[in-house]
Amino acid sequence: MLPSSWLAIAAEDPRWALASDIRGRDPFGGRDCGWVESMRPFIRDFSQPGDSVLDPFCGFGTTLIAAAWEGRRGIGWEVEPQRIQLAQARLARLGYAQAIVVPSPEGRPAEPVDLIATSVPYFGSGWRGPEREIQPSDADLVVPYESGAVVAIAGWFEARGFRLTRWGAPITAPSIAEALPHTEYIRAERLDASGTLCRFDLYFGRTPAIFLEAQRRSVLVDDLPMRLEDDLRPPPTR
């Protein structure tokens, strides 16, 4: 923590730190896991012992550990299936069986909760952001939201030497099918013949309606449907 922080924590308590073996199972190395100590004051000041605390972006279960430490019942939602497994393993190891981690639902909690709080992936985490600025893609490809189509198109790029990544972490075409329900895009990039880095973002949204809307708003350029910015659209033919 920085000395200028209003909550200046000198060091993380090793009892609650993310275990190295759990960190090693995460594609990002657990870089966005915050400190349990940073969540305790919020839980202590905005809820009462015995209350239920919901973290809708549960991650590694940091908020749930802080809730258990303060005598509250923790409930965690998480969109990433692998993170759910890692959070459950972490909580079980610490003996917090009363904490619950489930896949993120579409609507409101099934039961009332007393406090909603989340440990954002910057507060106490060891990640200081990407080493370089994330560059925009050269082209965005809107792909039908179908597992077979997404995997086939990603495989086409992979077979031609493109490196596939998801939020900066490597991913292979066959594994995209498993990640599809929790992912909206992947990036494909490689060097071209001149040594310039080419980037393509494959965007498939979460519903077929997104693809259909992109089709509706596209125009044909060299027989390919493209969605262009308004100021780049060719003038209408008379």
Residue 29's pLDDT band (cuts 50, 70, 90) = confident
pTM of the predicted structure, to 2 decimals: 0.59
May I ask the CATH class of domain 20-116?
alpha beta
Contacts 24+ apart (CB under 8 A), 225-234: 227/142
pLDDT number for residue 230 = 42
Residue 44 has pLDDT above 70, yes or no: yes
Q: Is the pLDDT of residue 125 over 70?
A: no
Structure-token match 């997404």, residue found: 150
pLDDT at 236 over 50: no
Which of 85, 4, 96, 10 has its CA nearest to residue 53? 96
The total of other beta-carbon atoms located within 10 Å of residue 9's CB is 13
Return the pLDDT at 107.
Answer: 67
**Can you give the residue ranges of every domain in the chain?**
20-116, 139-232
Residue 147, pLDDT score: 78
* Bigger pLDDT: 216 vs 126: 216
pLDDT of residue 201: 85
pLDDT band at 113 (very low <50, low <70, confident <90, very high): very high
